[in-house]
Amino acid sequence: MFVVSAVLVALSLVQVGFATPTPAITFNELQLRSYIAFNEREVTPFTNETHHVEQLRRRAESWSATHPGLQEQIDSAVRTTSSKIHFFWSGRMLPALSEDDSVMLPTQKLAQQRGGTTLELTTKLVVMPSWGGGDKDAKAIWQYASDMYAAASKGDTYFVKGESLRGGNVWEVHVSC
């Protein structure tokens, strides 16, 4: 509740030096939680691993009620891979005409050969919603799993980049800075 109050106070401040009030912005509870979650994800530097994981868990509140036990299953699966080398992937090999051109399978094979894992191998025993299916929470759930997997990565990690990437993908937006 403190965070909600702090955001409301921050949004109603007067611009210093101009004496012009900031335009009134009102958020309903859902919009406010979304605003806070976005800023925690995009703006807030993580002070430590525990703080980061807590932020991830708070974001899972939006879908955990409709998918009981799934958050715990994801967390448990990720914990079991904490000592393994984590492999990440993005994109497709040319001609990039279908999902069959994804670099996911070659990355999984490479990870297994080197005693490592990928997000998909990590969640293999967890019943995850299909990315392109009808579950409205699928993207948020996969994002949570991905964030937890990334947060659990320690030491050497590897990234396999396809020749064709979706515009605005995480690797071009965040890694190339």
Residue 159 to residue 107: CA distance in whole angstroms? 8
Strand bridging mode 86-90 / 157-161? parallel
Amino acid, res. 8: L
Confidence band (pLDDT; 50, 70, 90) for 2? Answer: very low
Residue 160 to residue 120: CA distance in whole angstroms? 14
Q: For residue range 37-74, list pLDDT tens digits in order.
A: 555 554 444 455 566 677 777 878 889 889 999 999 99
What is the arithmetic mean of pLDDT over 76-85? 94
**pTM here?**
0.66
Residue 54 to residue 12: CA distance in whole angstroms? 27
CB atoms within 10 A of CB 32: 16
